[in-house]
């Protein structure tokens, strides 16, 4: 009997502190999703929350988007690896040397801890940014072209994948190959408000575009019944993934 594939959904625990995050986590099983701890929650609750979630059996994506000089980012990535993270990220715009230093630090820290290295991915273009936003910071390329350039750089630096909009996923998949991990935020079920996201897709569209992991926060955590919302998205994603794999 083949084991069920892990859920592709990564629930963003965008809470102000540990108490509501843990209240949500208490209602779900680790097989139903991975969890994302971002800046707000990490600053409020610290690495102890990450360790607690890992101890409960959850895959934890520590989403701190490191962007600094290579030595500083390397040290931060090593520390997150020591917390047992399943995935962590840096900004690809930090450059090749920074990403290569992060890669070496993660691998070294994982080997010292006797565990498999977490997925190390790079943020390309934030899903809140439009072409006009990029132009205002001096980037002349449109979001898809710039995301593809940064994805190539991350691949060449030895990273496992990138964070990108699902709209950029097909081009990055063609360029970087079938095992390159594509993590897609900006996911909104049909009919949901886009809030502060600019380049959004539905869960089904993201999977059809080639996304491996779908980061979804408020449509689940802000729902009247978060568990039912998660289950509905998992079902839709699994059905779309099955169609994609059988195509």
User: Catalytic positions, please?
Assistant: 65
DSSP, residue by residue, 168-187: THHHHHHHH-TTSEEEE--B
Cβ-proximal residues to 244 (8 Å cutoff; 6+ apart), any chain: 207, 208, 210
Closest among 219, 214, 196 to 127, alpha carbons compared? 196
Identify whether the C-beta of residue 59 lies closer than 8 Å to the C-beta of residue 34.
Answer: yes
């Amino acid at each position: 009997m083949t084991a069920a594939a892990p859920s592709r959904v990564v629930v963003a625990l965008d809470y102000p502190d540990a108490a509501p995050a843990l209240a949500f986590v208490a209602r779900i099983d680790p097989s139903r999703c991975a969890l994302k701890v971002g800046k707000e929650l990490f600053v409020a609750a610290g690495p102890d929350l990450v360790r607690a979630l890992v101890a409960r059996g959850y895959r934890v994506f520590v989403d701190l988007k490191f962007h600094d000089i290579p030595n500083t980012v390397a040290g931060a990535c090593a520390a997150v690896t020591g917390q047992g993270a399943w995935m962590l990220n840096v900004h690809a715009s930090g450059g090749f040397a920074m990403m290569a230093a992060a890669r070496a630090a993660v691998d070294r820290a994982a080997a010292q801890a006797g565990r498999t290295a977490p997925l190390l991915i790079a943020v390309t273009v934030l899903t809140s940014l439009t072409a006009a936003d990029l132009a205002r910071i001096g980037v002349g390329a449109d979001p898809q072209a710039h995301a593809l350039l940064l994805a190539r750089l991350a691949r060449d630096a030895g990273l496992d994948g990138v964070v990108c909009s699902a709209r950029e996923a097909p081009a990055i998949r063609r360029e970087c190959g079938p095992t390159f991990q594509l993590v897609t935020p900006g996911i909104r079920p049909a009919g949901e408000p886009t809030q502060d996201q600019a380049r959004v897709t539905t869960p089904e569209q993201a999977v059809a575009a080639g996304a491996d992991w779908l980061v979804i926060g408020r449509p689940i955590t802000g729902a009247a019944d978060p568990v039912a919302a998660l289950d509905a998205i998992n079902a839709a994603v699994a059905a779309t993934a099955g169609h994609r794999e059988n195509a």
